[in-house]
Structure 1
Amino acid sequence: MRLLFISGGSAGAVFPLVPLAQAARNAGHEVLFGATENVMPLVSGAGLPGVPLTSKTMKDFMFVDHNGNQMGIPPDPHERNLFNGRGMARLAIGSLEGLIPLVETWRPDVIVGGKLSYAAPLVAGKYDLPYVRHALNLGEPPIIDLSAAAELSPLVERMGLVGLPDAEMFVDTCPPSVRRFDAGPAQFMRYVPFNTQRPVEPWMLSKGDRPRLFVSAGSRVTRDYEFDTVAQLVQKVSPMDVELLLAAPDDIVDALGPLPDNVRAGWLPLDVLVRTCDLLVHHAGGNTMLTGMVAGVPQLLIPQMPKQVGPAERLAEHGSAITLRGGEDTAEVIAESARALLEDGSYRERAAAMSEEIAGLPAPADVVGEIERRFAGRS
């Protein structure tokens, strides 16, 4: 079979799809991975053949409307979710220029699209191909889909479609115990952490006497985007008597200036380090959160975007995390919450239970087998 994976324009949109794409390729299927040109190094770094669908970046579509007008991020949480949906819809429209010729030339048998990659259902509907939708994290608010559908409605009508086609299979990496209450049927799949690697050093494999805290603000941090989040997290956490690991691009680390002696900083491989950590402190990004869940590590979550609040609160309700909302993340509260997560054994017990739940879900290779069973011979 030929499987065409379609992703967005960031590491957070690429990494969740990599394990299934690799499993499909390992099973002998032909795989192509389409995304924005700027993330092609991430795709090729995963050993997958990538096809750039547009030379523009995700930000080009998020912050510029159809008329070329610049837009800022709305402060209202509801409007922020609408903003995200519209931006991802414009990314889908911009990706069709490269995607349609690819589909017509390569003739895939199945389209696999990330949950916010709306170009996937568009081409699946246009060419009557099976469409598999793949989760990116623990679940986005449905309003994002509704906003994207409204933005895409003129194009959908021109393409002769009744609406955005529904997926014939939804691959969900969110464990059942922390899914949204209104989440629909799914083919569950075990989350397999994937991130950019660097050479492993001996200190990464074991920790010293002090608690090891891993701090991250996500993979999209730049000097213009969420830099203050990183700087403030370091300022608030570093005074604690811990070993602090700060995951950030090297240029961001340089911009932070001199760091305390108890801080190691740089582009750190979370999947390697996580099992040596006692606590993750981060912005509630999906890949970071799920990686911690796989390893059974308690988490202190400080959501930066409205869509991250729901997943963070569900994990806190599960008992394996503490979530701090806007304005609660003072240095004192962060230190108090971190101490609770480190000293109260119930958090680690619940985190271990979550790890066991994830380990019991079908592996990516099993899900490839289900795709074969459902869709082989359809095209």
Structure 2
Amino acid sequence: MRVLFASLGTHGHTYPLLPLAAAARDAGHEVTFATGEGFAEVLRAQGFDPIATGIPVFDGFLAALRIRFDTDSPDGLTPDQLSELPQIVFGQVMPQRIFDRLQPVLDRVRPDLVVQEISNYGAGLAATKAGIPTICHGVGRDTPDELTRSIEDEVGRLATQLGIDLPPGRIDAFGNPFLDIFPPSLQEPAFRSRPERYELRPVPFTERPKVPDWVLARTRSRPLVYLTLGTSSGGTVEVLRAAIDGLATLDVDVLVAGGPSLDLAQLGEVPTSVRLESWVSQAALLPHVDLVVHHGGSGTTIGAFGAGVPQLSFPWAGDSFANAQAVAQAEAGDHLPPGGVNAEAVADAAKRLIADESYRTAAKAVAAEIAAMPTPDEVARRLPEFAGRRAA
């Protein structure tokens, strides 16, 4: 059977799909993966056939600036004007570009099933237009907020322009079955009760599953704190520096993962208890840490849940607020509000989360819930069943 996976070209939207794609490959299916060209090498290493169909998010925002304000620069625009851009980027620009690029791919590959990442509306439109059975793959908690509704409204208008009839209700899955990787007890109740929602255990993917030698050599006499602002977040050097300064006052060791968009040299000199790493295998590291301090992204939130580790987040945009709410609901951590991240606040919160064992107990309960969810191999065995259905 031929299966085409399609995601937006970012780590947080591509990596969550790789475990199921690998399970489909191991089950003997022919897997094609359509996403941003920056992931071609990783996908080939996993034995997939990569096809570049997306556009960089930066290019999407540049196009949105031209469409909405006839400019190539955000300089001079008000915060209210800038807030109009995401719905154009993710509801109009990127779906249109992906739709245009994916249509000929579908004609050539002729997949029996499309696995559409939830934010890749262009793939959902293309598969619907082609009449190919499709399932939607989630990447985190449902966020039925104003921005999501605005994006889906834009997608609805685009569908009308393209002559595509959509089923009633939410556009996210285009009326198709949904694979949900978020812990069920922490998912939005209304979303959890939607028809044809299937649970899928989130399995962290890593290119190089290696932990720094100094982490393995530790005696664990002091807690280890993992600090990251993700691969593509709104985290700034100032926020990271404030977190480092706060954590450095505690009797802990700190590992700071810079990510691809941060030059660690910008942080300047750091205390001896703090180690800077330009890249780290988060999946391999998490079992060794006592607290995760992060930006609130879905990948890190779910990863910490799966490892049973308490977390402190700094939500700033998008799904980070919903993720912070889920952590609070689970009593597995805490968060600091935008503008509230300073050294003293970070130190106070981190000290409490490490000292109070109830947070780790709660985190381990969520980890047990995740471990009970169906594995990618189990879900992969059902892919022919999904492919046998008519497209929505």
- Whole-angstrom CA distance in 2 between matches of 1:214 and 1:88: 31
- Whole-angstrom CA distance in 1 between matches of 2:88 and 2:297: 20
- Whole-angstrom CA distance in 1 between matches of 2:365 and 2:217: 23
Q: Which moved more, 1:19-28 or 1:201-210?
A: 201-210
Q: Does 1:329 align with 2:341?
A: yes
- Whole-angstrom CA distance in 2 between matches of 1:192 and 1:83: 32
CA contact (8 A) 1:319 1:350 kept: yes
- Whole-angstrom CA distance in 2 between matches of 1:43 and 1:248: 23
Q: Does 1:182 align with 2:190?
A: yes
- Give the SS at the match of 1:246: strand
How far did 1:292 drift? Answer: 0.6
How far did 1:2 drift? Answer: 1.2
Residue aligning to 2:301: 289
How far did 1:71 drift? Answer: 6.5
- Give the SS at the match of 1:207: coil
Residue aligning to 1:259: 270
CA contact (8 A) 1:40 1:50 kept: yes
- Whole-angstrom CA distance in 2 between matches of 1:276 and 1:116: 32
Q: Which of 142, 154, 159 is matched with 1:156 structurally? A: 159
Q: Determine what percentage of the aligned residue pairs are the same residue.
A: 29
CA 377–9 in structure 1, closer or farther in 2 if over 3 Å, else same: closer
Letter in 2 for 1:88: F
- Whole-angstrom CA distance in 1 between matches of 2:49 and 2:305: 29
* TM superposition score normalised by structure 1: 0.90
Q: Tell me the alpha carbon deviations over residues 290-317 of structure 1, each in whole angstroms, 9 at most, x when there is no partner.
A: 1110110000111121431122112112
CA contact (8 A) 2:133 2:386 kept: no
CA 347–71 in structure 1, closer or farther in 2 if over 3 Å, else same: farther
Q: Which of 191, 197, 204 is matched with 1:193 structurally? A: 204
Give the superposed CA RMSD: 2.5
Residue aligning to 1:22: 22
CA contact (8 A) 2:243 2:342 kept: no
Letter in 2 for 1:9: G
Residue aligning to 1:244: 254
Q: Tell me the alpha carbon deviations over residues 137-192 of structure 1, each in whole angstroms, 9 at most, x when there is no partner.
A: 22233544432233234431233222357242100011111111321241001110
Q: Which moved more, 1:132-141 or 1:115-124?
A: 132-141
Q: Tell me the alpha carbon deviations over residues 276-332 of structure 1, each in whole angstroms, 9 at most, x when there is no partner.
A: 100000011100111110110000111121431122112112111112212332221
Q: Which moved more, 1:226-235 or 1:270-279?
A: 226-235
Q: Does 1:312 align with 2:324?
A: yes
How far did 1:63 drift? Answer: 4.1
CA contact (8 A) 1:205 1:272 kept: no
- Give the SS at the match of 2:48: coil
- Whole-angstrom CA distance in 2 between matches of 1:368 and 1:345: 37
- Whole-angstrom CA distance in 2 between matches of 1:238 and 1:74: 37
- Whole-angstrom CA distance in 2 between matches of 1:312 and 1:182: 18
Letter in 1 for 2:87: G
